[in-house]
């Protein structure tokens, strides 16, 4: 992949790259529609995989607490809207899960994982969390090169508390 097609990971203080992606009902959703509240962008490699399920369910289970800290949650994977719809329904996810099926957003955010397990050339999202302020600036970022590692949920809550 050429460096021109893969951006660098946004730094703290950078404006997060905007995007428009379909939700599980194929309704286009823009990042900018979440402005006005802090937004947790949780990129995950694959719907229904064990670690991704654990992460999305942890976010689901703490959503009230995260909302009390003034934040929305948005999950993003390269899975198609149909797979994400099954994932959302099956796991009772209570926040938007968007489909980056063209893999444009993971390139914009510099978080392309070029191999998913033994699948060489299967570009998926690196497990990543970006917290954006009310205007879309990055106030926290965490990117893992290991898809088996979940984010530190207490660190996410602490970052939201500090941004109050």
Cα–Cα–Cα angle for 98, 2, 78, rounded to 5 degrees: 15
Annotation says 52 is catalytic: yes
In sequence order, what are the residues at sequence separation of 6 or more whose Cβ sits closer than 8 angstroms to the Cβ of residue 33? none
From 40, 41, 52, 159, active-site residue = 52
Q: How far apart are the first and last CA of the chain?
A: 39
Q: In the β-sheet with 128-132, what is the strand arrangement from edge to edge?
A: 97-99, 71-77, 38-43, 128-132, 138-143
Spatial contact of 35 and 136, defined as CB atoms under 8 Å apart: yes
What single-letter DSSP state applies at residue 137?
B
Measured distance CA(113)–CA(123) in Å, rounded: 6
Task: Output the DSSP codes for 72-93.
Answer: EEEEEESS-HHHHHHHHHHHT-
Residue linked to tokens 């194929």: 26
Any idea how long the chain is? 164
Question: Looking at the annotation, which residues are catalytic?
Answer: 52
């Amino acid at each position: 992949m050429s460096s021109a097609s893969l951006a660098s990971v946004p730094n703290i203080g950078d404006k997060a790259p905007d995007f428009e992606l379909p939700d599980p009902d194929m309704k286009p959703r823009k990042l900018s529609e979440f402005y006005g509240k802090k937004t947790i962008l949780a990129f995950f490699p694959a719907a229904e995989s064990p670690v991704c399920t654990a992460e999305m369910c942890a976010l689901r289970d703490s959503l009230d607490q995260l909302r009390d800290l003034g934040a929305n949650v948005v999950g993003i994977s390269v899975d198609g809207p149909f797979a994400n719809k099954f994932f959302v329904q099956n796991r009772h996810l209570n926040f938007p899960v968007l489909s980056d099926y063209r893999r444009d957003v993971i390139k914009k955010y510099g978080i392309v994982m070029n191999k998913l397990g033994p699948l060489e050339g299967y570009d998926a999202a690196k497990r990543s969390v970006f917290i954006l302020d009310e205007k879309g600036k990055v106030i926290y970022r965490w990117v893992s090169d290991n898809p088996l590692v979940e984010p530190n949920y207490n660190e996410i809550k602490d970052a939201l508390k500090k941004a109050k």
